[in-house]
Chain A
Amino acid sequence: MSQNILFLAHVSEAGNTLPKASYEVLGAALKLSRQLGTRLTIGLIGGDVSAAAETIAGAGADRILAVAGPDFSSARYVSDAAAAEAICRSAEAELILAPATSRFMRVLAGVAHRLNGCVDTHVTTLEAEVVPGDVRATRWHYRQRIEGVIRRDARPWIVLLESGCHAAFTGMPGAAQVEQIPVTLPKAATRTVVTGTRAPKSDVQTIRPDADLLFVAGAGWTKKQADGKTHLEQAEPLILDFLRVSGASLGGSKSLVDQTGESQAVLGFMTHLNQVGQTGSTPRHPKGLSTCCHGEEPHVVGWRFINERRAVNLDPNCGWARGKADVLYVADAFEVLAKLNVLLAQRSRTSPGLAPQGALVS
């Protein structure tokens, strides 16, 4: 089966490049097009795509198509769907690869329907099959508990690939020949207006997708300690200090973030956005450190895609950490984190160059 490939991307919020995950998908698209011996087309969506197009000009695509203009600068279903549909129709590709960003996750399923095609998301691997020209995709089912390998009959097949699974395209920027595709939006497009973005009220940024380390806080932080009392007043600054000096991203177990919604004593900065696990996110960071966690969600589902994993837990027999973490420290996380914060702060003062990525260097 012939598989002309379209790599579809949108410009980043900054407007002058593509989201990091897009370059990884472009790397995967180039590899697949070489394996299949097919043409590659690039499609871009955004307010102004010229700067972003230059960053991928060296990919050697047959065509670079774009839908650009003020109507396409913000992530809105109706305009993004119209833009993506126009590019896909112009490219006439059988296989359409795109990054699983929130913007494309919102819209590309609808585009697949309009094209009378099909869509698959959260794909981690895409490879050419033994049958010449065919393609198989790997994705997770039941929240990262079962891995399925699939094939589709329908075309076009839109595949949204997860980040962190493919080597990114690293070609040199250059001049790009961009074919603009005119798109006229229906009147209904103005029914929704994107007014901006909003971050949760907090003194410190706790979610950092590009951080090297994921710090998972479990419900144990809010439970009674050895003296029979809770110590939230110590837990909050300890965790926030750790995030500052380590540059880590914060995840929370379901039991911990649920307490927030149930008006129990909680960590003030912890929201459902921090939740990892079965009903939360499954972030991708090179390293993960869990503290005061006891359960399947943080240890199994929450860090399925974390490469190096360590846990601090008072229970030496924690069945969830055993077999899932590389190292299980049996210790009081309050004590360990206090010492760790001092060490990391000292290190950042004495050797700023050695401070972890994103850490606050004082």
Chain B
Amino acid sequence: MTNGYHIVVCGSVVPDPLQTLEPIQTPTGPALKNEMMLPAVLDPWAAHALYEAANLTSKGAGSNSKVWLVSVGPKAKLQQVMMTIAQRVSFELVPVDSTASGFADAHSTAALLAETIQGIAGLDRSRLLVFGGWESASRGAGVTMQLVGERLEILDQFQGVDQIRIQADGSFEVLERIEGGRHQVSVCQGPPAVFGWATGNLPEPRNNPQVGMANMRTVMPALQRAKPVPLPTGGLHFLSASPPKQQRQTRVVKDLSAEQIAQEIAEWIGK
């Protein structure tokens, strides 16, 4: 049986999905117009990973468990997002003041994350679970977690995870998304392991001001201590970055009966 987990969640900030995004060219490559002005949220998949980590530590994983949130992003944006996230679940923030751009190189980001994780004081590798999103709403490459895992020399990796079930012997059953709306089922003997989460099954936790106050005692000092770190381009060159321009001429049909519409759709489906 486990003596508790040390769960490190990797998660960054992304622009609020409802914002309009416009790429611009800068001397260092593409960026988003008014990027620092756009409201940000914790990346949706990383947020699921964080909620799953909190759930795992609260249910039967032992009181010795602990959750760290390692987050690479501009300090001001991290602070803004923490005001919300810190009220939901308990964690210790490990911020890295660097770019969270979707145009940044995944290899450089992974190197920075791995180095930061290795620098966490008191982290026990024999109890280590590295969580994160299997994709992101920025770069969306789905490669960062694997690269972090390789750098940490963790060979048990799972992507598109929707569920982890801890078994009596300390092993865990993992459900990973595969093609056709199915899950692959695996059993892993135990930590260390890397999990790139899909959406899981948990609802968003409710805001809890007490949790928020407890978190903020460590979040604010951690943010103040975070030093800016430049992220190398890693030999990645952008030749262009542009929004899709396709605009369809929509035919709006208002005057047909349900039967006529059904007839038209049936013919269209059958073509």
Interface residues, chain A, with chain B CB atoms under 8 Å away: 19, 75-78, 81, 101-103, 105-107, 109-110, 112-114, 118-122, 136, 140-154, 186, 188-189, 191-200, 205-209, 212-213, 246, 258, 261-263, 272-275, 278-280, 287, 289, 296-297, 304, 308-310, 312, 316, 321-332, 335-340, 342-344, 347, 354, 356
Q: A110-B157, A149-B239 are in contact. Are A325 and B253 (CB under 8 A)?
A: no
A324-B183 in contact (CB<8A): no
In Å, the complex CA distance between A356 and B143 comes to 37
B156-A197 in contact (CB<8A): no
A114-B150 in contact (CB<8A): yes
A316-B183 in contact (CB<8A): no
Q: A288 → chain B, closest Cβ, in Å?
A: 11
Q: A102-B160, A279-B199 are in contact. Are A344 and B269 (CB under 8 A)?
A: yes
Query: Which listed residue (B175, B187, B198, B250) contacts A326, Cβ 8 A?
Result: B250
Interface of B is mostly: mixed
Which residues of A are found within 8 Å of B179, using beta-carbon distances?
Answer: 19, 101-102, 209
Q: A150-B238, A347-B266 are in contact. Are A197 and B102 (CB under 8 A)?
A: no
In Å, the complex CA distance between A249 and B239 comes to 36
B138-A113 in contact (CB<8A): no
Let me know if B44 is at the binding interface, CB within 8 A. yes
* Closest Cβ neighbor of B258 among chain A residues: A335
B248-A309 in contact (CB<8A): yes
A279-B266 in contact (CB<8A): no
Which residues of B are found within 8 Å of A354, using beta-carbon distances?
Answer: 270
Q: B251 → chain A, closest Cβ, in Å?
A: 5
B251-A136 in contact (CB<8A): no
Q: A297 → chain B, closest Cβ, in Å?
A: 8
Q: A113-B147, A153-B237, A278-B137 are in contact. Are A328 and B253 (CB under 8 A)?
A: yes
Report the stretch among B17-25, B59-67, B68-76, B222-230 that lies at the interface: B17-25
Let me know if B217 is at the binding interface, CB within 8 A. no
Query: Which listed residue (B201, B236, B254) contacts A152, Cβ 8 A?
Result: B236
Let me know if B203 is at the binding interface, CB within 8 A. yes
Q: B15 → chain A, closest Cβ, in Å?
A: 8
Let me know if B120 is at the binding interface, CB within 8 A. no
B236-A327 in contact (CB<8A): no
A197-B182 in contact (CB<8A): yes
Q: A108 → chain B, closest Cβ, in Å?
A: 8
B186-A194 in contact (CB<8A): yes
Which residues of A are found within 8 Å of B235, using beta-carbon distances?
Answer: 118, 152-154
Which residues of B are found within 8 Å of A76, using beta-carbon distances?
Answer: 186
B184-A194 in contact (CB<8A): yes
* Closest Cβ neighbor of B252 among chain A residues: A328
Let me know if B261 is at the binding interface, CB within 8 A. yes
B199-A192 in contact (CB<8A): no
Let me know if B119 is at the binding interface, CB within 8 A. no
In Å, the complex CA distance between A344 and B244 comes to 35
In Å, the complex CA distance between A228 and B184 comes to 42
CB-defined A-B contacts under 8 Å, sample of 23: A19-B179, A77-B157, A102-B179, A105-B142, A107-B146, A112-B147, A118-B107, A118-B235, A136-B239, A141-B138, A145-B244, A146-B241, A149-B239, A153-B236, A191-B189, A192-B156, A192-B186, A272-B201, A322-B252, A329-B261, A336-B261, A339-B261, A347-B270
B185-204 vs A, Cβ < 8 Å mask (1 yes, 0 no): 11111100000001111110
B265-A122 in contact (CB<8A): no
Which residues of A are found within 8 Å of B184, using beta-carbon distances?
Answer: 75, 102, 194, 196-197
* Closest Cβ neighbor of B241 among chain A residues: A148
A261-B252 in contact (CB<8A): no
Give the interface size class of chain B. 35 or more
Q: A107-B146, A110-B147, A151-B239 are in contact. Are A191 and B176 (CB under 8 A)?
A: no
Cross-chain pair count, CB within 8 angstroms? 277
Which residues of A are found within 8 Å of B248, using beta-carbon distances?
Answer: 309, 323-326
Query: Which listed residue (A75, A119, A149, A186) contacts B143, Cβ 8 A?
Result: A119
Let me know if B27 is at the binding interface, CB within 8 A. no
Which residues of B are found within 8 Å of A136, using beta-carbon distances?
Answer: 239
A316-B188 in contact (CB<8A): no
Q: A149-B239, A153-B237, A329-B261 are in contact. Are A113 and B151 (CB under 8 A)?
A: yes
A147-B243 in contact (CB<8A): yes
* Closest Cβ neighbor of B235 among chain A residues: A153
In Å, the complex CA distance between A16 and B2 comes to 41
In Å, the complex CA distance between A273 and B235 comes to 35
Query: Which listed residue (A145, A188, A289) contacts B265, Cβ 8 A?
Result: A289
In Å, the complex CA distance between A102 and B184 comes to 10
Q: A113-B151, A148-B103, A331-B256 are in contact. Are A261 and B21 (CB under 8 A)?
A: no
B186-A340 in contact (CB<8A): no
B155-173 vs A, Cβ < 8 Å mask (1 yes, 0 no): 1111110100000000001
Query: Which listed residue (B142, B150, B155) contacts A121, Cβ 8 A?
Result: B142
In Å, the complex CA distance between A352 and B223 comes to 65
In Å, the complex CA distance between A168 and B92 comes to 49
A189-B251 in contact (CB<8A): no
Query: Which listed residue (B23, B256, B264) contacts A146, Cβ 8 A?
Result: B23
Q: A9 → chain B, closest Cβ, in Å?
A: 14
Which residues of A are found within 8 Å of B107, using beta-carbon distances?
Answer: 112-113, 118-119
A327-B238 in contact (CB<8A): no
Which residues of A are found within 8 Å of B241, using beta-carbon distances?
Answer: 141, 146-149
* Closest Cβ neighbor of B172 among chain A residues: A192
B240-A121 in contact (CB<8A): no
Let me know if B141 is at the binding interface, CB within 8 A. yes
